[in-house]
Amino acid sequence: MSRKTQLPLKVTAEGFIGIDPFTSIFRVFNALVFWVFVSIGWWGVRMFVNAIPNDEFNDLLSQVWFVLGIGFLALALRRFVIAILAPRFEFYRLDKAFLHSRTGVLTRNHEIVPRNRIQHTAVSSKFFERVFGYATLRVFTAGTKFANVSIPYLREEEAERIKQELMSEEYQLYDEW
């Protein structure tokens, strides 16, 4: 999908703008990479344990490894499902006083950042995001390290526009909320 044929973004009744649905591909790819590394690690440990010459020990470990394997498979499936559904549940909104971010498939989060608490912003993109023209907007606020907000998989132009708008002097002193 080229940049010219991007799908229109979903806008809710409250004015929240949705994340591009095409971004599920990046999340599924990340889930696949995670699953491959976990599988390789699981296989390597299993081969090491099978090299131990104790039959009773190996029988018990076979049962434990079966249960662990089912658990890893369940985690991988959960990660794939969330990767596919996540763009349908990620929204952001920028108004005069606040930056809102709503995320979450299983657990919902609504983060509200007052503009007068924003210290700086950053736009970054990983390799595959950059290839397809996406970026992540990170907003750093005064307070703890957990007070930061990220809006992933924005179009590069949109991320830069929001960054510039957040850092504009027009809203730096806005304190009427």
Q: Are residues 41 and 114 in the same domain?
A: no
Q: How far apart are the first and last CA of the chain?
A: 42
Report pLDDT for 149. 87
In this predicted structure, what is the pLDDT of residue 29? 82
User: Is there a domain that residue 55 lies in?
Assistant: yes
Co-location of 94 and 152 in the same domain: yes
**Are residue 45 and residue 106 in the same domain, yes or no?**
no
Q: Evaluate if pTM is beyond 0.75.
A: no
Could you tell me if 120 and 140 are in contact, meaning their C-beta atoms sit under 8 angstroms apart?
yes
In a domain, 58, yes or no: yes
Q: Tell whether 3 is covered by a domain.
A: no
Domain boundary among 39, 66, 85: 85
Q: Which of 83, 89, 94, 124 is nearest to 105 (CA)?
A: 89
Q: Does some domain include residue 64?
A: yes
In a domain, 133, yes or no: yes
Sign of CA dihedral 101, 10, 152, 169: negative
**pLDDT tens across the length of the chain (177 residues):** 444 445 567 777 678 888 887 778 878 887 888 888 877 877 777 777 666 666 666 677 777 777 877 887 888 888 888 888 888 888 999 888 888 999 888 888 888 888 888 888 999 988 878 888 889 999 988 776 666 888 888 889 999 999 998 888 655 554 454
Q: Same domain for 79 and 97?
A: no
Residue 155 lies in a domain: yes
Q: Which of 156, 96, 102, 132 is nearest to 23 (CA)?
A: 132
User: What phi and psi values does residue 2 have, to the nearest 5 degrees?
Assistant: -80, 170
- List own/partner pairs for 41-46 with CB under 8 A and 24 or more apart: 42/68, 42/69, 42/72
- Residue 95 and residue 58 in one domain: no
The confidence score (pLDDT) of residue 82 equals 86
Q: What is the CATH number of the domain that holds 157?
A: 2.30.29
| Whether residues 41 and 121 fall in one domain | no
133 and 164 together in one domain: yes
**Domain of residue 80, residue span:** 23-85
pLDDT of the residue at 163:
92
Instruction: Please give the pLDDT value at position 57.
Output: 61
Shared domain for 72 and 96, answered yes or no, is: no
Alpha carbons 161 and 72: distance in angstroms, whole number: 41
Q: What is the pLDDT of residue 3?
A: 47
- The owner of tokens 């992540």 is 136
Q: How many domains does the chain have?
A: 2
30 lies in some domain: yes
Residue that is written with structure tokens 């973004």 in the block? 9
